[in-house]
Amino acid sequence: MAIVGVLALQGSFNEHISALRRLGVKGVEIRKPEQLLNVASLIIPGGESTTMAKLAELHNLFPALREFVRMGKPVWGTCAGLIFLANKATGQKTGGQELVGGLDCTVHRNFFGSQLQSFEAELSMPELVATEGGPETFRGVFIRAPAILDVGPEVQVLAHCPVSSNSNVNSNSTGEDKEEKGSESKVIVAVRQGNLLATAFHPELTSDSRWHSYFLKMAGEVDGSSSSIAIEGVDNARLERSKSDLPIFL
């Protein structure tokens, strides 16, 4: 059975572990640097990024996390985890926060606004659908969410989110990947760069396990052992159900 580490300092780590369990994969909580030695891949969950950074610093996790990324081990960051992985973050609180880095992008920490401006959106994700099948879109759950303003040449963009000009999202960002389309623009919300995967939204807060399955297969490709990862219990019929069957958490 594949074992995936889930950083368990704060945030939605239990939801990631439950999502992994649905795929027949064991997720283990990671709170200390030495625990990273026991896993070959890692998920950094959503949560309050400043709080997570302070706890990571308290437990001296940053050097071990950076080495984990540097060694080419697969890491997936969701929401706050995306901020952790970015080389640069804007919209920081006074004094900023420490980052793990490795992902060649700039992230706006609170691009979509406050907790009250959280929302859900159907996102077009051709790469995910080509790999995992299922519905043509994925319901992205955005909770006080970041967005990716620009990416380096080695970063593969996996998904955009439409941003209406009259919406409540942050209107001060001038990221290069906001493309005008009538009264709408779009911003990057999912990327991959080699061993690193990042999403601005929370796949762990839906019953759709395709992003977790995608990460497991990606991890197998990175460590060269894809044939050894058996993803159990995937209900393809469930994935083909109406997208409205997925739960709403707001």
Residue 102 assigned as binding residue: no
207 annotated ligand binder: no
For 27, half-sphere exposure in the C-beta direction (CA atoms, 13 angstrom radius) is: 25
- Does the annotation count 202 as an active-site position? yes
Active-site residue flag, 79:
yes
Binding site annotation covers 48? yes
Any catalytic annotation for residue 127? no
Q: How far apart are the first and last CA of the chain?
A: 34
Q: How many residues does the chain have?
A: 250
Among candidate residues 15, 120, 132, 204, the one labeled active-site is: 204
Q: Judge whether 44 is annotated as a binding position.
A: no
Of the candidates 79, 160, 161, 212, the residue annotated as catalytic is: 79
Q: Is 238 annotated as a binding residue?
A: no
- Ligand-binding annotation for 109, yes or no, is yes
Annotated binding site: 47-49, 109, 143-144
Annotated binding site for L-glutamine: 47-49, 109, 143-144
Residues identified as active-site? 79, 202, 204
